[in-house]
Structure 1
C-alpha cells in the first residue's frame, strides 16, 4: 500500500496547529514569536545593564543609559523583518560597548537571510573594525591606568583586539551562512523530490495506459480468433443442416453422410474452442503449458492483471499445412473451391501461418454467406521474404438459394488487423464480373 503523503500523528498535530495559527505581523509560527521575544528581552536586559555602566563611566545619568540600553536591546525583536536595521543599530552602539546579544544574533540572522553576501560581508567588516578599535582603546587605557608599559604591550594589544573582533563577528556570520546554505539545499531537495513524485505519477499513468492498451489488444485478438472459429465452423454446420433437411426423405444415405459431416464440424469447433480456452487459462492457472508462460504479459509488467501471453492465442492456431483440409471441408459442404500452391513450401513461423490460414478461412466463410453457389479459387505463394494469398470468387449463382447466415460485418476488419499486425498488406474488393477478391501479403523476415 502506498504511503505517499502519509503523516505520523505528531506531524498531523503540528499541521493542525499551523492551520489554526493565522500569523502575527511577520511571524508565521508561534514558536518564532516566543523565540524572538525571549531573545529581545535578554538583549534588552543585557544592553540596559551595559548602558547604565557606560553612562556612569562617562558621567551621565545612570537611568538614562539604562533606558537607552533597554530600547536598543529591544530592537532585536525586529530581526526577522529588518535584519539590516538590527545590525546597523548593533554597529552604532559598539563604542558604548553595549549590545553583545544584539550584535551576535543580528549578524546570524543577517547571514541566514536572503540578503546579498556582499552586503553581509561589508557590515561584518564594519562591525569587526569597530569592535577592534574599541577593544584596542579599552585594553590600552586599562594598561595605561595600571601603570604597566612594555615594548611587547602594543603588539599584544593589537593581537588581542583582532581576536576579540574576529571572535564576536565571524562565528555568527559563518553559522548563518551555513544555515542559509543548508536551507537552500533542503529546498532544492524538496523541489527535486516533488519533481520525482510528479514524474512517478506520470509514469504510473502511462503504465496504466499501456496496460489498458495491452488488454484492449488482447481482447481484440481473442475476439478475432473466436469470430473465425465460430463463423467458419457454424456456417459449415448450417450449410450441412440445410442439406440434411433437403435430402432427409429423398436420399437417406446422403442424409446420413451430411449428418456425419455435421457432427464432425461440431466436434472440430468444440476442439478449437477448448484449445483457445486452454491457452487463455494458462496465463493465470498453475500447472499449465510452459509455452503459454514463456513471454511476459505487458499488462502484468505495467501493473495490470495477469493474463495470457500476447501471442499465445495465435501461437496455438492452425498452420498452412491444414489449408488442404480447410478446402476439403468447404468442398464437402457443396462449395466449389480450388487450391493452388506456388513456390517451395517451408515453415514461416506459427503466427504468420495462423494469420494466412485465418484469412483464407474467413474469406471462404464470406463466400458461403454472401455468394452462395459461387466457385472460389485459393492461391498460396511462397516468396523469398513473404507469403502471399489470393482468394477470388465469382458471383453467386441465381439458382442456388442462399442459407440465412448472420453477419456482424467484422470479417474484413479482422483480416486487415491480422495482416497489418505483422507489417503486411491487405486488400479486398469486388471484381469486374460481380465476384469478390481478397489478397494478403505477410512478410516472413522479422
Structure 2
C-alpha cells in the first residue's frame, strides 16, 4: 500500500486504503473530474473510431474513474493513462498518475520506466497528429512534440519526487523527535531516581554522623549520672567530680549539635562544596577539640586523639587498655583517620551499653599500606548494673558502611570467651 499524504493528524478512522477522510474526498473529486474530462474526449474518440458516441462516453467515464484508486495502485493508473494516450484522452489522469507514482514508495527504477513510457507515448501521438500539417516544417513539428511531451510528463514527476522526499524527511524528523522525547523521558526518570537515591544517602549519612558524634558522649553522660546517683550521699567529692564530667560532656555534645544544625541551615555551601560533603565535614568536625570549624576533614578527629577517647571511658569506670603496634610511616588521609576514630568510638559506646563492667582492649596496628583497629571486650561482670542506655541497632551498620566506603574490611561478632569483638582494616591510601 502506498500513500502520498502524511498520515499524522487523521480526522477519523481509515477508509479502505485511504489514511484520512480528506484523502477520500480529494481522490473522489479528482476521479470525477477525470471521468468528465475523459467522457468529453470520448465523443471525439467515438467519431474517429467509428463507434457509437455512447460507447465512447462510457469508455471515457471508465478510464477517468480509475484515478480514484491512484493511492492503492498508482502503477496501474499510469499504465491506463499511457494506454489511452493514442485516443487523445486522460490528460488529468496522466499528470496526476505520474505525480502519484513519483511521490509514493514505488521503486525508482519503476518510476523511471513509467516516465520514459509516458514521455515516448506522448511524443509519438503528438508527432503523428501534427506531422500531417504541410504548412509546419518537420523541425517545428519535432520540437513541438518534444516540448509537449516533456511539459506533460517531467513537471509532475519532479513535483512528486520533491513531495515524496519532503514527506520522508518530515517522517524521519518526527521519528527522531519521538525518539528524543522518549530518551528525555528516560533521562528524567533516571535523574529522579538518582535524586531520590541522593536524598536517601544524605539522610543515611546525617543519621550515621549524628549517631557517631552524639551517642558516645551521651552514653558517657548517662554512665557518669548513674555513678553520681550512687555516690552522691556517700562521697560528695567524687559526686562533684562526676557532676563536672557530666557537665563537660553535655557542653561538648551541645557544641557539636550546633555545628550540625549550622551546616544544615546554611544556604550556600562553603567554596561550592556539595551539601553532602559539607554536612559530613561539619558533623565530624571538632569532636576531638570541642569546637571544630567544620570547614574540612582536617578539623575532624584523628588517630592521635584515641588516647583521650580511651581516657574518657576510663574516667567513666570502664577497665580499658589500649595497645598500639608499629608506627605510621606518614600521616594518613583525613578520611582514614576519622573513620578509624569513629569505629573505635562506636565500639566503646557499645561496650558501655551492652558490656558494663567488662574488660576492654583497644588495639591499633600500623602496617604497610593499611591501618587496623580492634576493640574487644570480655564477658560482662554480673555485679555491674546495666546503665539502661537505649540502642538503635545502627551502630554496627554505620561502622560497616564507613569502612566499606573506603575500600576496607569490617568484621564483628561474639568471641569464644563470651565477649564481643569489632575489627576493621583500612587501606592508608583510601582517602587520597
TM-score range, shorter chain: 0.7 to 0.9
Instruction: State how far apart, in whole Å, the 2-side matches of 1:422 and 1:413 are.
Output: 15
> How big is the shift at 1:93?
1.0
SS of corresponding position for 1:142:
coil
Give the conservation status (yes or no) of the 8 Å contact 2:407–2:427: yes
Question: Within the alignment, does 1:290 sit opposite 2:270 as a pair?
Answer: yes
Structure 2 match to 1:8:
none
Shift of 1:103: 0.2
What residue is the counterpart of 1:36 in the other structure?
A: 27
Cα distance in 1 between the residues matched to 2:123 and 2:279: 82
Q: What does residue range 148-159 of structure 1 map to in structure 2 within 5 Å?
A: 153-159=137-143
Structure-1 separation of matches of 2:100 and 2:280: 64
For residues 227-266 of structure 1, the aligned pairs below 5 Å read 227-266=211-250
What is the Cα-based RMSD across aligned positions, in Å?
A: 2.6
Shift, 1:63, TM fit: 5.1
Aligned to 1:80, what secondary structure does the other structure show?
A: coil
Q: Deviations over 1:84-108 (max 9, x none)?
A: 2221221111001111111000111
Aligned with 1:403 (options 387, 396, 403): 387
| Rounded Cα–Cα distance in structure 2 between residues aligned with 1:26 and 1:241 | 91
- On the 8 A contact 1:280/1:313 being kept in 2, the answer is no
Of 299, 303, 307, 1:324 maps to 307
Task: Please state how far the C-alpha of 1:189 moved relative to its aligned partner.
Answer: 1.9
Q: Residue 419 in 1 paired to residue 365 in 2?
A: no
Question: Structure 1 residues 80, 55: closer, same or farther in 2, change over 3 A?
Answer: same
Which runs of 5 or more structure 1 residues have no equivalent in the other structure? 1-13, 298-306
Q: How does 1:14-413 map to 2 (within 5 A)?
A: 18=10, 21-57=12-48, 59-62=50-53, 64-143=55-134, 146=135, 153-282=137-266, 285-286=267-268, 290=270, 293-295=272-274, 313-314=283-284, 315=297, 317-341=300-324, 342-344=326-328, 346-413=330-397
Shift, 1:23, TM fit? 4.5
Taking structure 2 as the reference length, the TM-score comes to 0.86
> Could you tell me how far apart the structure 2 residues matched to 1:125 and 1:270 are?
95
Mapped partners of 1:309, 1:262: distance in 2: 27
Seen in structure 2, the aligned counterparts of structure 1 residues 431 and 22 have a Cα distance that, compared at 3 Å, is: closer
Decide whether aligned partners of structure 1 residues 311 and 29 sit closer, same or farther in structure 2, where only a CA change above 3 A counts: farther
Post-superposition shift, 1:203? Answer: 1.5
Aligned residues: 409
- Cα deviation, residue 215, structure 1: 1.5
Residues 22 and 395 (structure 1 numbering): CA distance in 2 closer, same or farther, change over 3 Å?
Answer: closer
Could you report, residue by residue, the CA deviation over 1:151-201 in whole angstroms, capped at 9, with x for unpaired residues? xx4454334323322222222122222222222222222222222222222
Q: Name the SS of the counterpart of 1:141 in structure 2.
A: coil
Instruction: List alignment gaps of at least 5 residues for structure 2.
Output: 1-7, 285-296
Q: Distance in 1 between matches of 2:49 and 2:18?
A: 39
Measure the CA separation in 1 of the matches of 2:335 and 2:142: 94
Q: 1:313 to 1:255 in 2, by over 3 A?
A: closer
